[in-house]
Structures are given as C-alpha cells and as structure tokens.
Amino acid sequence: MRIDNVEYSTFSGWIDPPADVVPALAGDLTCDVAVIGGGMGGMATALRLAERGQDVVLLEAQFCGYGSSSRNGGQIASVPGGDLRLLGLLHPKALPGMVRLAENSARFVEDLMKTHDIECDYEPNGLALAAVGHGQMLRIRTVAAILRRAGGHGHVGTSEELGIPRGFVGGMRESLGGMLNPGKLSRGVRRALLSSPARVFEKTKVTDVTRHGGKVVISTPRGTVHANKAVLATNAYSGEWDITPKRLSVPMWLIEMETEPIAPERIAALGWSSRSGVITQHQIMEHYRLTPRNTIVIGVRRIERGRTYPLPAKAPDRQLVEELAGAFATRFPALADVAVARAWGGWIAITSSWLSVAGRIEDNIYYSIACNGHGLAQAPYVGSLIADLIVDGSRAEDLDGIWAKEPKFPPFTMMGPLGLRTAWTVDRFTDLLNGSRRRALRAAARVR
Ligand SMILES: Cc1cc2nc3c(=O)[nH]c(=O)nc-3n(C[C@H](O)[C@H](O)[C@H](O)COP(=O)(O)OP(=O)(O)OC[C@H]3O[C@@H](n4cnc5c(N)ncnc54)[C@H](O)[C@@H]3O)c2cc1C
C-alpha cells in the first residue's frame, strides 16, 4: 500500500468541523439538569431531556461531535463489546441483559435517524465478526452459541454464505445494525439538539465539577453553572475532575484510515456482496468496511494508552499508518497497490469490564461510559435511558446490567503498555501460524 501522500487529520476523515460553532458560556446560570460533553451520549441525553420538558444545558469543550462520535468506524453493533466467552463465564446472569441492551441500542439509533430525518449513508447490513483462520472461526462458533443462549441473534456461515471478502474463512453476521457515516450522524443529532429548547454552549470546557449545598457547581473559564442534577458524558476525557470515580475508565488512542477510491470492479472481485463491515477476532481487532465513495476504511489493530490528562489532540503517527497499511495488504493482496488517502484517530474510554458502565455519584450526578468500541449505538441509548431515569425516577431494565451500584471499580489489568504490547505480539504470532496470508493470496489468485 502506498502511504506517501496521506492527509493526517487531528479531527476526522468523515466530516469537517461545523461552520456554525455556538458561542461559549459567558456569565453564570442556573438550570435543572446540566449535561457535560456533546458526543452522541451527551447530545442524546440532552435531546431526550429537552423533549421531556426539562430545563437542560449542555456544555461542550469544542463542538458537539468533536470526540470519538465523529471519528469512529461507523459500525452500529448489536452484540455487546468485549469477549463474550469471558462475559459468559464471569457474568452469566447479567449477560442476557447486556445482549438485550446491545440490540435495543442498535434499534434506538435507527429510530433516532428516522425521527430526526438524519441522512448518514446508513446501510442496515449487520456487522460481521470475521475469522482470518480456523482458530478464530472456532472462537466465533463458541461466541454465537453463547449469544444464542443469552437470547441474541447472529448468523454463522462461510465467507461466501455471508458475502464477506473471500480471504476470510467465515464468520457471524449480527442480525441488527450496520454501517453509516458517523460524522454525518453526529452532525444530524447536533442539528436536532440545536433546534430543541436545550441551551447549548460549545467552546466551553468544564474545568471542575463539585457539589455545594445539594447543588452541582460546574466551573468553566468564563462562567459557572448551578444545576440540580448533572450528567457526565465526557467519555475518554472523564478523568479530569476529582469527582469522577477512581478507575472508572482508562483512555485509549486508536486510529482509522481510508483508502483512495477503488474501481468498482476491483471491489466486486473481493466477493464482498453483503458489504457488511468486518471485525477480526484478534486480541486487538482489525476492522474493514466499505463506504459509498468506493473506499475502504480500516481501523485499530494497535491501541495506545493515554497517560495524563488533558488528553492531547493528535494525528496518527506515520508508523501506525504503515502498520495498518501492511495489515490491509495482507488481508487484501489484490489491492496492495491502493494508496491511503487519509488517517485520523480518537480517544475512547475502556472500562475494566470492557463493557458500558453507568451509575450515580451521591444522589444527583449521573455518569455514563458506553464505549469499549461499541459506543456509537450504546452511548446515545444509555444517555436517553439516563434522561428517562432523571425524569421518571425509575431505572429502565436495560440499565440494570451495566449499572454500578457503588461508584467503585476494580484495578485494570493488562491495560498498561506491556499488556497491550503482549496482546499485539500474540496477534502477530498467531497470524504467522494461522495461514491467513496464504488464504488471502489464494483467494486473490482465484479471481485473477
Ligand atoms: C477510532 C475509533 C473507532 C471506533 N469505532 C466504533 C465503531 O465502529 N462502532 C462503535 O459502536 N463504536 C466505535 N467507537 C467508539 C464510539 O465512537 C464511542 O464509544 C462513542 O462515540 C462515545 O460517545 P460519547 O458521547 O460517550 O463520547 P465522545 O464522542 O468522545 O464525546 C465526548 C465529548 O465530551 C467533550 N468533553 C470532554 N471533556 C470535556 C470538558 N471538560 N468539558 C466539556 N466537554 C468535554 C469532548 O469534546 C467530546 O465532544 C470507536 C471509537 C474510536 C475512537
């Protein structure tokens, strides 16, 4: 793959920043509920609160959709993140609830698009877990069985049966969800929010959140908000204040890149008839998806842990792009001559359970970290459920499986540089043994 002319971005390859950034908060104000963070999670929370007649203020450090909500791979997943084999082992009772939450999250985002008439290139073709070798296929069959027992749905088949690229052995296609342009989705939700009665302040970085006399006091550089309740929806940036529960999450940096447009007949030759996005079953996944502009977006394979707050705004290193380009050339040898057009990255929050977490600090500060690679659908759905909880006073069943009864979290294991490096090394070692390179070359040769 050619990487000599890559556009490295500190924002996203999906969309440009908005031209109509809303002015920052200047002065003090009071409100019933303040939402901090304008990603898909915070925006959906504020939108729902406004729809339900609440006096809501949203504070966003940059502009709504600045964070991972506009930068991700655009896959609407309908299966929980993390390793279902481990979850089945550690949380057998909670698993059905997690599966239901994941499916309802996908449905929620589809409804959000319809209700607010958001055009975001959505293709409801179900994300596919894809195996690069027979070991990964075995894992997928186990995962599919666990999923079925927990009430979930997925269709297992060969690559031909699923219509995913021939270089893969096969996989499991999820029954709901699909792929979209996440930049357009978050821009559409921002538009809906700005048209709602919610008061939105962009370019307003919250510097501290404290409690005083039963109220939540939110400090920003040019004004203070006094709220009866607050929702923390800052995702990976959540470790910046003392009030955040310790070890709630750790920030991880991951990247995406997009190829130049590829001739349609070359894409057709891959056998990718379902157009479903694919994620491999490595310890640290690789993902590949098509776009309506005849390009392929490729992501992850390596993750880096953020060490200190505030998290830097950064573009991907050339070395990371080089590595992803190498992976692409291995999985798609027939396209090894294609150039990388652009690359970008984002911060996500990983929780120690690898699952969404929501909860409450004291009686009036709610938090939600709905990420771990599946947050595009889960963050807004969980946000809307938190909004309903604030209004109704009762918790929806879908929150039960992820609700932290006490804001206390176990220490992280395997999430330091050594653990991440080990996971990456295991992936590269198994790739040497699983025959994936040979299989991809054979698949490419068959269509020549
Ligand atoms: C490269 C990448 C690929 C991914 N791929 C997928 C995928 O394919 N499918 C999927 O489901 N998920 C994916 N994810 C995860 C998904 O994007 C996130 O889980 C989801 O967008 C989280 O939404 P959010 O609203 O919680 O956070 P964010 O979108 O990150 O929003 C948080 C917001 O808080 C603001 N903020 C932070 N600090 C402050 C402060 N002090 N004051 C005010 N505002 C503040 C930020 O500016 C930001 O706008 C991916 C993530 C990345 C980075």
Residue-wise pLDDT for 147-172, tens only, equals 999 999 999 999 999 999 999 999 99
Q: Can you give the pLDDT at residue 240?
A: 84
> Given a cut of 80, is residue 242 above it in pLDDT?
yes
Q: Nearest residue CA, atom 22 of ligand 1?
A: 375
State what percent of residues in the chain have pLDDT above 90.
80
447 band by pLDDT with thresholds 50, 70 and 90:
low
CA 110 centroid distance within chain: 16
- Mutating to test ligand 1, I would choose from 75, 235, 298, 366 the residue with most ligand atoms within 8 A of its C-beta, which is 235
Q: Beta-carbon neighbour count of residue 16 at 10 Å? A: 11
Q: Do 74 and 289 touch, CB atoms closer than 8 A?
A: yes
Residue 38 vs residues 68, 142, 224, 278, 337: alpha-carbon distances, Å = 11, 38, 18, 28, 39
**Ligand 1 atom closest to 63 (CA):** 49
Q: Can you give the pLDDT at residue 355?
A: 81
**Ligand 1 atom closest to 346 (CA):** 53
Non-local CB neighbours of 90 within 8 Å, separated by 6+ positions: none
Residue type for position 405: K
Span 225-242, mean pLDDT?
A: 93
Distance CA 372, CA 411 (A): 16
Query: 174 is written with which tokens?
Result: 């999820």
Q: Can you give the pLDDT at residue 115?
A: 97
> Given a cut of 80, is residue 353 above it in pLDDT?
no
Q: Do 229 and 390 touch, CB atoms closer than 8 A?
A: yes
Instruction: Answer with the residue of higher pLDDT: 242 or 90.
Output: 242
Please report, for the chain, the start and end positions of each structural domain, with discontinuous segments joined by +: 7-404
Query: 292 is written with which tokens?
Result: 């309506």
Distance CA 415, CA 351 (A): 10
DSSP 190-227: HHHHHHSS-EEE-S----EEEEETTEEEEEETTEEEEE
Collapsing DSSP to helix, strand or coil, 419 comes out as: helix
Span 91-115, mean pLDDT?
A: 93
**Ligand 1 atom closest to 233 (CA):** 26
Instruction: Answer with the residue of higher pLDDT: 274 or 354.
Output: 274
Span 241-247, mean pLDDT?
A: 90
**Ligand 1 atom closest to 62 (CA):** 47
Lowest mean pLDDT among 24-33, 174-183, 188-197, 414-423: 414-423
Instruction: Output the average pLDDT for the chain.
Output: 94
88 band by pLDDT with thresholds 50, 70 and 90:
confident
Ligand 1 center to 67 CA (angstroms): 5
Q: Can you give the pLDDT at residue 448?
A: 60
> Given a cut of 70, is residue 112 above it in pLDDT?
yes
Q: Do 147 and 154 touch, CB atoms closer than 8 A?
A: yes
Ligand 1 center to 12 CA (angstroms): 12
> Given a cut of 90, is residue 277 above it in pLDDT?
yes
Q: Do 272 and 288 touch, CB atoms closer than 8 A?
A: no
Span 61-90, mean pLDDT?
A: 91
Ligand 1 center to 135 CA (angstroms): 32
Query: Three-class SS string for 265-279?
Result: HHHHCCCCCCCCCEE
- Mutating to test ligand 1, I would choose from 351, 367, 371, 384 the residue with most ligand atoms within 8 A of its C-beta, which is 371
Span 23-39, mean pLDDT?
A: 98
Q: Can you give the pLDDT at residue 415?
A: 76
**What is the enclosing helix (H) or strand (E) of 231?**
strand 223-232
Give the N- to C-terminal CA distance of the chain in Å, as an integer.
19
Nearest to 198 by CA among 27, 393, 22: 22
Residue 234 vs residues 11, 237, 357: alpha-carbon distances, Å = 17, 5, 13
- Which CATH number is 7-404 given? 3.50.50.60
> Given a cut of 70, is residue 315 above it in pLDDT?
yes
pLDDT digit string (tens) for 379-415?
999 999 999 999 999 999 999 888 998 888 887 777 7
- Pairing label, strands 56-59, 215-220: unpaired
Ligand 1 center to 254 CA (angstroms): 12
pTM to 2 decimals?
A: 0.96
Q: Of the ranges 72-81, 94-103, 287-296, which is most confident?
A: 287-296
Q: Can you give the pLDDT at residue 237?
A: 87
Lowest mean pLDDT among 245-254, 347-356, 376-385, 394-403: 347-356
Q: Can you give the pLDDT at residue 371?
A: 66
> Given a cut of 70, is residue 122 above it in pLDDT?
yes
Residue 310: is the preceding peptide bond cis (ω within 30°)?
yes
CA 381, 386, 391, 392 dihedral sign is positive
> Given a cut of 80, is residue 372 above it in pLDDT?
no
> Given a cut of 80, is residue 446 above it in pLDDT?
no
Q: Burial of 265 by CB count in 10 Å (0-12 exposed, 13-18 middle, 19+ buried)?
A: exposed
- Mutating to test ligand 1, I would choose from 71, 208, 376 the residue with most ligand atoms within 8 A of its C-beta, which is 376
Q: Can you give the pLDDT at residue 20?
A: 97
Q: Do 60 and 25 touch, CB atoms closer than 8 A?
A: no
Q: Can you give the pLDDT at residue 90?
A: 82
> Given a cut of 70, is residue 101 above it in pLDDT?
yes
State what percent of residues in the chain have pLDDT above 70.
99
247 band by pLDDT with thresholds 50, 70 and 90:
confident
Lowest mean pLDDT among 81-85, 197-201, 328-332: 81-85
Q: Beta-carbon neighbour count of residue 162 at 10 Å? A: 25
